[in-house]
Amino acid sequence: MHLGLVESSDGMVDLRDLPPPLPLRCALALAEDLRSGESITVLTPLWPQQLLDALVMAGMAWSAVHLPEGGARVEFRRSDGCD
């Protein structure tokens, strides 16, 4: 896993305990490392609008949901044309 982050057994990377702006930076670094067809799910402490905007600009597919305890769960995938 990149940046010393640990992916859990359910395939999620929890960024909620990191101080700003590390959740955004780490999520972007993880997105950059994805190969075509790969995806990853991150947990963020707040709604990650900047991350979602950056994923759109990079042509990546994403889905996000608000978590009941706050923050969000975001899954993003590198499509075949994004390498």
- pLDDT per position as a tens digit, 71-80: 999 999 998 7
pTM confidence score: 0.86
Q: What pLDDT does residue 43 have? A: 97
The C-alpha atoms of residue 67 and residue 31 are separated, in whole angstroms, by 21
The architecture in CATH of the region 7-77 reads 2-Layer Sandwich (3.30)
Length of the chain: 83
- pLDDT per position as a tens digit, 47-81: 999 999 999 999 999 999 999 999 999 999 998 76
**CA-atom Rg of the chain in angstroms:** 12
The C-alpha atoms of residue 54 and residue 5 are separated, in whole angstroms, by 21
- pLDDT per position as a tens digit, 6-44: 677 677 999 999 999 999 999 999 999 999 999 999 999
The C-alpha atoms of residue 10 and residue 20 are separated, in whole angstroms, by 25
With contact defined as beta carbons under 8 Å apart, do 72 and 82 qualify? Answer: no
Q: What pLDDT does residue 62 have? A: 98
